[in-house]
C-alpha cells in the first residue's frame, strides 16, 4: 500500500461519500475514494493502490485516509474556523483556544459541550454543533483504522458513522450483522466479517440475521408474501450450518422466529411474513372487502335503464356494435364499486374502456376521473388509447420512497372513478397504498391480462382478486381485425398450449431457425439492422431476451447492438462507467423510480448529449442528457447506476410497453426461463412485426411449460362474499375472512 501526505489542491468531483480530487504532495496526483467531509486546501494522508483512470491517467485509489490532528494554537484556530466545524467562525475559534488552550480539540472530544458552555456567546445548540463537528472529523478515521482489518470498507464506515456515531466500532464488533440492516452488504458477506471478528456461530445475532435474510430473499426472488414456517427454518439452518463445526439446531432457529415476531416478521397459521408485507396484504384485503361488491340498492333499476340507453347511443354515434361481454362490462361498472376487466389481446379491452369513460362522463358529468398504470410507459400507452390523461400509480397517490404518500386514508383521492391498467404488474405493497388512498364512495376499475407475467415484487394481486370473488368480467371474443393478425392469433395459441402457425405469405410474423446461440446473437443484430434499413427508428425496435447473461442475454446483446446501431465516432460524445459505455444516440432504460426527475423504473429514452451544467454551488459538472418521450432528464455521473442500455431488455422489463418491431431470441441455453407466460408476454409487446430467432425445440418447451410457480399469498383467502341485512334491506359486500 502506498502512502502520501499533501494538500488537497482541487476537488474534481464529489458526492455525499465519494471524492475525486488532486493532491499536492511530493508528486502531483489525482486520488479517488470514499473520503468523508474533506475540503479544498486541507492536508491529508492517504493510503491506497495505484490504478489507471481513462480520463485522469495514473490515480491513487484510496483505501483509507487520515486528517493530521492540529498541534499548535494556530493550527487549532485554523481548523476550528474552517468549514469543517459548524457554528464556529474565526472569532469564535480564537475565543475557544484562549479559553481551553492548545489542547482544545482533545478537551472538546473528551468533555463535550460542558467545556464550551462557559464561553460567552456559545449556547447549548451552538456547543452541540461544534462538538459534533470536531468529534466526527477525527473519530471517523480512528474507527476506519479499527474496522478496515475486518474487511469493512471506508465507504461502509462512513455510512455506519452517520447511524451510530462514536459507538460505531463497538456496535459493529458486537454485532456485525448491523451492516445488513443498513443494506450495506448481504448476510453472507456479514457472516465472513463476523468470523474475522470472532463472533460465535451460535450467536443469536447471527441466527436472527440469517432468518431475516432467508425470509426476504425467498419472498423477493419468488414473489412470495410469506414462507411456510418449516421451509424457513430448514433453509435458515442449511445456510447457518454450511462450513462450520458448531451446528445450529432447529429449536434455536425456531426460538429466533419468536424473538423476531412483531419486530421484523409476523407468524400466522404456520405462515411467516416479513412484517411490512403482512401489513400491506391485510390492509389491501380489508379495503377491497369493504368496497367490493357494494351496490346502489334501490337506485339500481333507474341506473340500469339509463346505462342501456347510453350504450345504444354510444354504438350509434361511433358506428360500432359492442359484443355482449363488452356491454356486460359497462353494466357491471355501474353496478359495482370494485370491478375487474380482463381479456387477452384482440378482445376489445381498449374499446370497452373508451366506451366506459364516455358513458360514465355522461352519467356523472361533475365527477372526477383518474387513469393510472404501474409504469410510465404503461400510463402513456393508456392515455393514448383511452384519450384521457393518465399517470403512474406512484404519481397519482403522491408516493416517494420511504415517505407516506400524499393521498392516504386520512387524505383520500378526490376522484369518483379510478381506472388502473396493467394490473398484472402491480404488487401487494403498491396495490395496498393505492387502495388506501381511494375514497370509500369511489368506483375502481382494474384492467389486466391474467395470463401475463405477475409482478416482479411480492404478490399476485390481479389473480388473487379474481379468485376472491370480486366482481369481474372476462372478454373472450377475438374481433375480426385482430384475427387477421398472426401476432394476436399465435399469442392465443401459445396461451392455449398450441404450437405456432406462421403463414410465410404474410409479413407480420417470422421464425428464423438457428441452433447455435452465438449465431442466434449475430442474427438478432442483423435483423435489427435490417429493420433500420427499412426505415424504422432505433426506438421502434425492441429486442427481448428471457435472461441477462449468456450469448443471447441482454448484456451481450446490448454491447453488440450498440456497436452495430450506434458505433463510436469522433463526433459522438460518450462516457464509460465501469464496463458500460453510454454514447449519444444510445437507447437507455431507467431502472429505479426517481420522483425528483419524474422518471420511473421501465421508462425508455435516448441519450441526447454529454455536456456540462452549472450546479447549485456554481461549479461546472459533467452530465448526461436523456430524452424520455420529449422530456429532457439530466444525470450527473453518480446517478448513472439508474440507467442501463436498452437495445435489448428482459421480457419482465418490457411489461407495460409496446413497440412496432419485437425480436425475441429463443434457445435451450435459456432452458430455466422457457415458460409459456414469458413467451406470451413477449409476443404481446409487438404492434406490427414479431420475429423469433432460435429453435423449434426451445419454443415448444416454452409453450408446453405452463407450470407457473405458485406464489405464497393469502390475499384471496382473506376475502369472502357475505350478505347482511341493514334497515330491512339486503346489502352485499365483502368482508375479510381471516382478519385479526
Which of 296, 346, 354, 347 shows the shortest CA–CA distance to 330? 354
Report CA-CA distances (Å) from 229 to 12, 214, 225, 263, 358: 53, 12, 13, 17, 50
Residue numbering of the annotated binding site for ATP: 346-350
What is d(CA 215, CA 513) in angstroms, rounded to the nearest whole number?
A: 42
Cross-strand bridge partners of residue 225: none
Q: Which three cell numbers stand for residue 53?
A: 483512470
Beta-sheet pairing, 18-24 with 28-34: antiparallel
The sign of the torsion formed by the CA atoms of 328, 331, 335, 337 equals positive
Most distant CA pair in the chain, distance = 94
Q: Could you tell me which residues are annotated as the binding site?
A: 346-350
**How far apart are the C-alpha atoms of 468 and 375, rounded to whole Å?**
26
Report the C-alpha dihedral over residues 403, 406, 410, 411, rounded to 10 degrees. 180
391 exposed, middle or buried (CB, 10 Å; 0-12, 13-18, 19+)?
middle
Q: Which 8-state DSSP code applies to residue 4?
A: E
Report the alpha-carbon distance of residue 305 to residue 161 in Å, rounded. Answer: 68
**Which of the 8 DSSP states describes residue 115?**
G
CA atoms within 13 Å, Cβ hemisphere of 563: 9
- Give pairs for 173-182: CB < 8 Å, separation 24+: 173/147, 173/197, 175/199, 175/205, 176/150, 177/205, 177/206, 177/208, 177/209, 179/152, 180/209, 180/212, 180/213
The Cα 130–Cα 92 span in angstroms is 10
For 172, the grid coordinates are: 459493529
Taking the alpha carbons at both ends of the chain, their separation in whole angstroms is: 60
Chain centre to alpha carbon of residue 259: 30
- Asked if residue 253 lies in contact with residue 236, where contact means CB atoms within 8 angstroms, the answer is yes
Query: For the chain, what's the residue count?
Result: 740
- Grid look-up 467531509 returns 37
Measure Cα distances from 131 to 75, 102, 144, 145 in Å.
17, 16, 20, 22
Amino acid at each position: 500500500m502506498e502512502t502520501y501526505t499533501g494538500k488537497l489542491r482541487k476537488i474534481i468531483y464529489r458526492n455525499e461519500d465519494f471524492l475525486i480530487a488532486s493532491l499536492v504532495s511530493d508528486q502531483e496526483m489525482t486520488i479517488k475514494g470514499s473520503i468523508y467531509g474533506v475540503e479544498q486546501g486541507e492536508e491529508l494522508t492517504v493510503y491506497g493502490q495505484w490504478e489507471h483512470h481513462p480520463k485522469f491517467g495514473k490515480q491513487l485509489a484510496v483505501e483509507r485516509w487520515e486528517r493530521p490532528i492540529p498541534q499548535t494554537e494556530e493550527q487549532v484556530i485554523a481548523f476550528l474556523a474552517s468549514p469543517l466545524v459548524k457554528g464556529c467562525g474565526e472569532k469564535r475559534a480564537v475565543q475557544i483556544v484562549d479559553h481551553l488552550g492548545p489542547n482544545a480539540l482533545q478537551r472538546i472530544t473528551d468533555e463535550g459541550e460542558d467545556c464550551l458552555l462557559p464561553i460567552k456567546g456559545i449556547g447549548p445548540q451552538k456547543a452541540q454543533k461544534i462538538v459534533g463537528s470536531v468529534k466526527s472529523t477525527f473519530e471517523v478515521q480512528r474507527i476506519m483504522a479499527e474496522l478496515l482489518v475486518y474487511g469493512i470498507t471506508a465507504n461502509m464506515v462512513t455510512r455506519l458513522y452517520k447511524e451510530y456515531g462514536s459507538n460505531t466500532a463497538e456496535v459493529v464488533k458486537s454485532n456485525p450483522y448491523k451492516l445488513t440492516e443498513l443494506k450495506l452488504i448481504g448476510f453472507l458477506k456479514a457472516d465472513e466479517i463476523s468470523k474475522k471478528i470472532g463472533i460465535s456461530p451460535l450467536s443469536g445475532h447471527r441466527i436472527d440475521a440469517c432468518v431475516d435474510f432467508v425470509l426476504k430473499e425467498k419472498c423477493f426472488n419468488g414473489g412470495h408474501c410469506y414462507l411456510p414456517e418449516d421451509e424457513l427454518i430448514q433453509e435458515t439452518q442449511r445456510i447457518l450450518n454450511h462450513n462450520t463445526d458448531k451446528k445450529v439446531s432447529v429449536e434455536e432457529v425456531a426460538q429466533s422466529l419468536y424473538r423476531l415476531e412483531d419486530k421484523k416478521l409476523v407468524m400466522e397459521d404456520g405462515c411467516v411474513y416479513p412484517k411490512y408485507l403482512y401489513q400491506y396484504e391485510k390492509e389491501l384485503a380489508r379495503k377491497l372487502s369493504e368496497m367490493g361488491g357494494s351496490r346502489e340498492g334501490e337506485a339500481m333499476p333507474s341506473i340500469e335503464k339509463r346505462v342501456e340507453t347510453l350504450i345504444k347511443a354510444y354504438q350509434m354515434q361511433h358506428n360500432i356494435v359492442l359484443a355482449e361481454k363488452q356491454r356486460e362490462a359497462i353494466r357491471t361498472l355501474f353496478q359495482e364499486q370494485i370491478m375487474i376487466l380482463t381479456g387477452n389481446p384482440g378482445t376489445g379491452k381498449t374499446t370497452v374502456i373508451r366506451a366506459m369513460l364516455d358513458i360514465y362522463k355522461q352519467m356523472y358529468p361533475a365527477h372526477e376521473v383518474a387513469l393510472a398504470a404501474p409504469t410510465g410507459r404503461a400510463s402513456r400507452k393508456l392515455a393514448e388509447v383511452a384519450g384521457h390523461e393518465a399517470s403512474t400509480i406512484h404519481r397519482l397517490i403522491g408516493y416517494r420512497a420511504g415517505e407516506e404518500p400524499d393521498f392516504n386514508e386520512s387524505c383520500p383521492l378526490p376522484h369518483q372513478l379510478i381506472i388502473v391498467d396493467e394490473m398484472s404488474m402491480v404488487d401487494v405493497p403498491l396495490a395496498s397504498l393505492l387502495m388506501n388512498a381511494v375514497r370509500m364512495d369511489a368506483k375502481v376499475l382494474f384492467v389486466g391480462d391474467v395470463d401475463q407475467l405477475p409482478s416482479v415484487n411480492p404478490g399476485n394481486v390481479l389473480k388473487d382478486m379474481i379468485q376472491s370473488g370480486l366482481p369481474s368480467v372476462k372478454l373472450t371474443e377475438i374481433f375480426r381485425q385482430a384475427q387477421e393478425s398472426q401476432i394476436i392469433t399465435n399469442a392465443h395459441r401459445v396461451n392455449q398450449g398450441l404450437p405456432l402457425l406462421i403463414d410465410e405469405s404474410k409479413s407480420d410474423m417470422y421464425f428464423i431457425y438457428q441452433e447455435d446461440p452465438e449465431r442466434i446473437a449475430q442474427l438478432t443484430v442483423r435483423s435489427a439492422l435490417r429493420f433500420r434499413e427499412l426505415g424504422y427508428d432505433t426506438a421502434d425496435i425492441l429486442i427481448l431476451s428471457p435472461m441477462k447473461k449468456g450469448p443471447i442475454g441482454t448484456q451481450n446483446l446490448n454491447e453488440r447492438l450498440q456497436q452495430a446501431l450506434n458505433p463510436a465516432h469522433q463526433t459522438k460524445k460518450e462516457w464509460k462507467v465501469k464496463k458500460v459505455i453510454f454514447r449519444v444516440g444510445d437507447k437507455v432504460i431507467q431502472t429505479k423510480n426517481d420522483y425528483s426527475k419524474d422518471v420511473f423504473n421501465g421508462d425508455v429514452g435516448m441519450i441526447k448529449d454529454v455536456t456540462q451544467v452549472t450546479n447549485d454551488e456554481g461549479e461546472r459538472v459533467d452530465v448526461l442528457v436523456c430524452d424520455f418521450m420529449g422530456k429532457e432528464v439530466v444525470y450527473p455521473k453518480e446517478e448513472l447506476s439508474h440507467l442501463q442500455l436498452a437495445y435489448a431488455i428482459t421480457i419482465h422489463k418490457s411489461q407495460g410497453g409496446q413497440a412496432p418491431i419485437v425480436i425475441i431470441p429463443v434457445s435451450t441455453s435459456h432452458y430455466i426461463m422457457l415458460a409459456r407466460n414469458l413467451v406470451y408476454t413477449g409476443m404481446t409487446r409487438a404492434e406490427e412485426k414479431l420475429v423469433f430467432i432460435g429453435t423449434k425445440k426451445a419454443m415448444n418447451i416454452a409453450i408446453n411449460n405452463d407450470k407457473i410457480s405458485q406464489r405464497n399469498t393469502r390475499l384471496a383467502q382473506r376475502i369472502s362474499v357475505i350478505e347482511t341485512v341493514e334497515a330491512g334491506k339486503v346489502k352485499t359486500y365483502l368482508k375479510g375472512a381471516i382478519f385479526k
